[in-house]
Amino acid sequence: MRILIATDAWTPQVNGVVRSLQHTAREARELGAQIDFLTPGDFRTIPMPTYPEVRLALATRSMVARRMDEIGADLVHIATEGPIGLRARSVCLSRGATFTTSYHTRFPEYLAARAPVPERLSYAWLRRFHNAGAGIMVSTPTLRDELAARGFRNIMPWSRGVDATLFRPRTREEIADPALDFPGPVFLYVGRVAVEKNISAFLELDLPGTKVVVGDGPARAELEAKHPDARFLGMKQGEDLARVYSSADVFVFPSLTDTFGIVLLEALASGVPVAAFPVTGPRDVIGAAPADRPVGVLDNDLRAAALAALHIDRADARQFALGYSWRACTQQFLDNIETARQAGLPTLAAAC
């Protein structure tokens, strides 16, 4: 099976969408499928307003159609609702070709945080976008139920995984980095530094020890100036990021809008318990742990959650994360693709 994923989120962006797609493509090869990508790297781009790190493709419908023809995939999966996703959707609809979509980002909430756009209007547009496909993949049961209540159809499960070899507990000798020698306990946030991530809710907490922020984004300069007591380490990846995780005592996840939060799994695999609000993402991941072996604390009082998480067994956190693999995640994705392909609609190759 050859699958084309059309995505507006791609390198050099560092986020959960990009990591999910990269890991899925890597595992798909081992499972006998080939995944090709249609990304902003295939076209000229411009910076996204208010978010220059994100590049928007200047792609016309004919340009996207030509690239899709060159790849000649059996089925298209549209990962994002940006310029590339819109053009790919248009091509598939005009040809009567099967395509699936996925819901990674709460754009209505993100847009409302930046501009006076009613969420109901954004959701109406998204519902029209996704319901045209053979299925929409979502990462959690809570998100499935939320979207179903808003009129989204043909919802399919697509969970996430973690690289438990990279993200693992480390001894002090393995960390061995004076730059990470902060007064404890260390409360860590990893992710995009932007208004929709609600990082202020973490930085304003009265906590002992040190607050550490890893990541970059449009809100970093303002938050860094406002919270000089916190340590902002900037963007980190690979081993550097893994060492930061394992040096922390608690991972604090203040977001109210994430659809999953791969960083939750990365923290848990590193043996770091989580403190978060009881919302979609944390509720599905942290809340799935056995009651007698909790891996985090969910509380509307984030300070209380952070302090309580200090007493959670780090070994339990690690063991729980091992239940999430990228192989299982990818198999779920491929099963969804096969279900869509068998729905009786023509494939992209046939439509071409």
**Gap between the Cα atoms of 341 and 335, Å rounded:** 10
pTM of the predicted model, to two decimals?
0.91
Question: Would you give the distance in Å from CA 259 to the centre of its chain?
Answer: 7
Percent of the chain residues topping a pLDDT of 90: 85
Please work out, in degrees rounded to the nearest 5, the angle formed at the alpha carbon of residue 95 by the alpha carbons of 94 and 96: 95
* Dihedral sign, Cα of residue 62, residue 123, residue 17, residue 163: negative
Lowest mean pLDDT among 47-56, 177-186, 294-303: 47-56
Cβ atoms of 327 and 27 within 8 Å: the answer is yes
Distance CA 281, CA 262 (A): 9
The pLDDT, as a whole number, for residue 349 is: 43
pLDDT for 35 beyond 90: yes
Mean pLDDT over all residues of the chain?
93
The maximal CA–CA distance of the chain, rounded, in angstroms, is: 62
What pLDDT, on the 0 to 100 scale, is given for residue 350? 39
User: What is the distance in angstroms between the CA of the first residue and the CA of the last residue of the chain?
Assistant: 17
Cross-strand partners of 276: 253, 298
Show the tokens assigned to 123. 């959701």
- pLDDT of res. 54: 83
Q: Are 242 and 167 in contact (CB under 8 A)?
A: yes
How many angstroms separate the CA atoms of 55 and 231, rounded? 28
Phi and psi torsions of 179, nearest 5°: -70, -15
Give per-residue pLDDT as tens, 233-280.
Answer: 999 999 999 999 999 999 999 999 999 999 999 999 999 999 999 999
Tell me how crowded residue 291 is: count the other CB atoms within 10 A of its CB.
6
In whole angstroms, what is the distance from residue 253 CA to residue 103 CA? 20
Among positive and negative, which fits the CA dihedral 327, 241, 42, 261? positive
Identity of residue 126:
L
Distance (Å, whole) CA 127 – CA 221: 35
- d(C-alpha 111, C-alpha 48), whole Å: 13
Is the distance from CB of 313 to CB of 297 less than 8 angstroms? Answer: no
Exposed, middle or buried, 227 (CB in 10 Å: 0-12/13-18/19+)? middle
Is residue 108 over pLDDT 60?
A: yes
Selected residue with higher pLDDT from 342 and 201: 201
pLDDT of residue 105: 85
Q: Are 91 and 81 in contact (CB under 8 A)?
A: no
- 262 burial type by CB count under 10 A (0-12 exposed, 13-18 middle, 19+ buried): buried
* Residue at 150: amino acid letter: R
Q: What is residue 115's predicted lDDT score, i.e. its pLDDT?
A: 76
- As a whole number of angstroms, the distance between CA 111 and CA 120 comes to 12
Q: What is the pLDDT of residues 138-167, one digit of tens each?
A: 999 999 999 999 999 999 999 999 999 999
Question: Do 306 and 252 contact (CB within 8 A), yes or no?
Answer: yes
- Cα angle value 107/264/258 (rounded, 5°): 10
